[in-house]
Structure 1
Amino acid sequence: MGRITARRSLTKVTVGQESRTRIDVLAVEEPLEIRVAGTPLAVTMRTPGHDVELAAGFLISEGIIGDREQFESAIHCGGPGRGNAPNEYNVLDIRLGPGAVLPTPEAARNFYTTSSCGLCGKASIEAVTTVSRYDVAGDPSAVTAADVVSFPGRLRAAQTVFDKTGGLHAAGLVDLESGELIVVREDVGRHNAVDKVVGWALLNDRLPLRGTVLQVSGRASFELVQKAVMAGIPMLAAVSAPSSLAVELAADAGLTLIGFLRGDSMNIYARPDRVRTDPINTQPHPPAIKEATDEAAARDIRAGSF
């Protein structure tokens, strides 16, 4: 899998048994510097792959762009490797389209975020509560509880890199009309996985993501709710707990927030009216997985641009 995984030796220790050395497969974590028109905007730690989607989703989440026309192009540039190594494709320069406003120097986040936090360094909650151009509260989508409890298993089945490493978060998007899991992305950072999903939607001209559910493999933090709202996603489901601020933002925005989605049960913290206990359809949607193959979104990151 190239730079997505790495093989390293380790010493396995079990009490009462002889230690042994073996090779383990690890998820790769490397920095990605996102630039806009040549000016550095942010650096995030991520798993290489789908970098253009990651950058596009990040710009949506930050309110810098709002539709496909405002994302003109992206190219990997500069970023030489360590020592005499070749370019490691860890710098991505974005050219914005008509109507997009270049970020101010004050908006630049020139620091390394950790893999578990997409908002580290923000001065206040007010600075990250970006106003979305999409009306999440007015989305009339509904889904049966029987469908919802199937989402985590379907997401887990699509986590190909997690099977090898056990070290990645995942985010997937379910289309409620077709019942299909239309895109899945993995990353060492849960916020990066969501940005890649949102970026996929942008590059495929799918925004706003009305009539969808965003399923994530971990907890529901404030930044994940914010990213869903900014992309027009009306429902977010997580297998673990939400934070208090995530619940507050979901309630304010009119987003359905589901936590502790395990087995045949769930906790709904905001907008429970969208989850139906009476059947909408006669059978739950089948666990179909279908990912769009739009050329712009599917090219290998080493191609350099799209």
Structure 2
Amino acid sequence: MNARGSLLALIKYHVVACISTVRWRFVPPVYLLALMSFIVDKRRNVWWNLMPLGDDANVWDVAQWFLNNVFYDGFLILLGFALLVEDDIVRGHKDGTLRSTLLLSRSTLRWWCAKILSMGVLALAYMSIVFVAILVASLVMGIPMGFHDSGASIRLADIPIQHRWYTLPAGWSTVAYTAFAVFSLTFTMWVIAVVHQALSLFVFPSRRIPFFVFFAWLLAGFMIQPAGGAWWDVRWLLYPGKCFAEYGRGSISIPVFFGVMTTALVGAAAAGYRRLRRMDF
């Protein structure tokens, strides 16, 4: 980082410091194994003739089905990312870099803005790894690449509603829907990471409490009643198909979802900054 502690230099420092940890090296192999297991499981599914992983499926069917699985969205994608960024501030405090970067930045606000933006970069890097893992695992398992809607995806509407969860909206291809799902999850991971960092300031120097808060929230989702409970179930907020859902907790429009998540991002950022100004490292 240069002596002036510019915003870009601070962002780069935060990203490199986090992504250089050993745990990031496990992300690609973990997702490759998870996806291979996922594909094998879907091929054995009783609804095989209707599920979008039939003989005429392509990699985009794998992508949309994997990214629309509330179990993987919550317990793998969310908790996996939370583990990667959980001790970012505590680690910096222990090795002395937190105080030094705060001094070099010459501004608590600049340091915190860099931290927030670095979480966005890390979320993008994380979801990029997930997406590449989907492509690689699919090809390894013999599922072909294609940039068209397969016969399997066209049959999606024929799947019994209790096994479908969502329907592609008119005019949306599986490629476009996958792009939306990746973008939606990336943005959501960014918001959650900022909430995580802000919460870690309030429970400092604990490094595990924020992670277990999200874990408990996931478990609580199983006890939240479907009617009117969408906004309180983190699994449903993560699930990209919520914007096109047909039953259960109902759909959440795209503008409303991103509006609420942006508000949460700004609120967490403001609360974290206020807390940071009162702390003495």
Does TM, scored on the shorter chain, surpass 0.5?
Answer: no
Q: Taking structure 1 as the reference length, what is the TM-score of the superposition?
A: 0.24
Q: Taking structure 2 as the reference length, what is the TM-score of the superposition?
A: 0.25
User: Higher relative contact order at CA 8 Å, sep ≥6: structure 1 or structure 2?
Assistant: 2
| Structure with the largest fraction of helix | 2
